[in-house]
Amino acid sequence: MVYVSHFPPGTSKWNKIEHRLFSYISMNWRGKPLTSLAVIISLINSTKTKTGLTIKTVLDDNIYKTGIKIKDEIFEKINIEANDFCEQWNYIINPI
């Protein structure tokens, strides 16, 4: 069983962790040139809040195929169950 929860587009403001960390990330890389992904990841990884919250960041350099279409008959076999709360954005995928 897989529980899937999404934030609707444009609502990252609801993500309390993102809000709690973003200002610290911004302060940590203030005045430093963001010249590469490695530099950005390093600066984010070295961020720490006043209460000791730290961030672990890794670069996902895998190449993912885009535009993959699943046939309707295969998609219909997926056992998706709507969640009671915001069922458009939260659902459960059960084993077949």
pLDDT computed for residue 13 by the predictor: 62
- Distance in angstroms (rounded) separating the CA atoms of residues 26 and 36: 16
Angle between helical axes of 37-45 and 16-28 (0-180°, round to 10): 110
pLDDT at 22 over 90: no
Mean pLDDT to the nearest integer, 2-14: 71
| pLDDT tens string 77-86 | 888 888 777 7
| 3-state SS string for the chain | CEEEECCCCCCHHHCHHHHHHHHHHHHHCCCCCCCCHHHHHHHHHCCECCCCCECCCCCCCCCCCCCCCCCHHHHCCCEEEECCCCCCCEEEEECC
Q: What are phi and psi of 23, to 5 degrees?
A: -65, -35
| pLDDT tens string 31-70 | 999 999 999 999 999 999 888 888 888 889 999 999 999 8
Q: Pick the closest to residue 59 from 72, 76, 42 (CA basis).
A: 42
pLDDT computed for residue 43 by the predictor: 93
pLDDT computed for residue 75 by the predictor: 86
pLDDT at 30 over 70: yes
